């Protein structure tokens, strides 16, 4: 519960497994030396911070949020490495998720750095996205100009983009 969340602290080391965080579970590491070689699935009100997540597959999602609606999830100070897998996604935000806080992360070497899927009210700031085929991929089933503009507003808060393919999305809402 919010009064008593489960807090898990990992020491430096390599952990070769997938991780599923339940509601109100917080997973923290000791910095980049704490490495999860697998995928992390987050639920509503979960938190992931201060560690490294490396892809161990040719395709998939390094960090995925498996919740819809009012889910409030938090990813901070995480190095997310797709290991050059073009079919990999760094952080996948599912349809209709909202209130995500993604800050101070480095998301690198994925096919897609961040996947937006009709999300709302997210705070994406002070991240570095580099060497991804696509830094950010928008998918918004509503396809309205205001929805796309909201996503662009969320992405202009001190994020750094390096060596990603940049594509013109201005006409996406017209399709």
Average pLDDT value for residue range 6-31: 95
Kindly give, in sequence order, each residue whose CB lies less than 8 Å from that of residue 152, ignoring residues fewer than 6 positions away: none
Rounded Cα distance between 82 and 14, Å, is: 16
pLDDT single digits (tens) 127-151: 888 888 888 887 765 555 555 555 6
pLDDT top residue among 112 and 14: 14
Rounded Cα distance between 7 and 111, Å, is: 31
- Report the predicted TM-score, pTM, of the whole model to 2 decimal places: 0.82
pLDDT top residue among 170 and 132: 132
Q: Count Cβ neighbours within 10 Å for each residue of 80-118 and write b for 16 or more, e otherwise.
A: bbbeebeebbbbbbbeebbbbebbebbbbbbbbbbbbbb
The residue with tokens 């996205």 is 129
pLDDT single digits (tens) 44-76: 899 999 999 998 776 778 888 765 556 788 999
Confidence at residue 75, expressed as pLDDT on a 0 to 100 scale: 93
pLDDT single digits (tens) 68-103: 556 788 999 999 998 887 788 898 887 767 778 889
Confidence at residue 175, expressed as pLDDT on a 0 to 100 scale: 33
| Listed ranges 5-19, 134-148, 160-174; the one with the highest mean pLDDT | 5-19
pLDDT top residue among 166 and 77: 77
Name the residue among 83, 65, 86 with its Cα closest to residue 74. 65
When pLDDT is cut at 50, 70 and 90, the band that residue 1 belongs to is confident
């Amino acid at each position: 519960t919010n009064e008593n969340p489960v807090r898990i602290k990992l020491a430096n080391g390599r952990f070769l497994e997938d991780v599923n965080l339940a509601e109100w579970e917080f997973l923290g590491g000791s910095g980049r030396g704490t490495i999860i070689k697998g995928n992390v699935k987050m639920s509503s009100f979960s938190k992931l911070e201060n560690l490294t997540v490396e892809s161990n597959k040719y395709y998939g999602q390094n960090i995925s949020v498996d919740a819809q609606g009012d889910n409030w999830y938090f990813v901070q100070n995480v190095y997310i490495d797709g290991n050059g897998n073009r079919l990999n996604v760094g952080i996948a935000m599912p349809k209709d998720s909202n209130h995500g806080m993604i800050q101070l992360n480095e998301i690198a070497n994925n096919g897609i750095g961040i996947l937006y899927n009709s999300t709302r009210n997210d705070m994406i700031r002070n991240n570095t996205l580099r060497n991804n085929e696509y830094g950010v991929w928008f998918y918004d089933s509503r396809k309205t100009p205001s929805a796309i503009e909201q996503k662009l507003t969320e992405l202009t808060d001190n994020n750094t983009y390096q060596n990603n393919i940049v594509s013109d999305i201005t006409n996406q809402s017209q399709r």
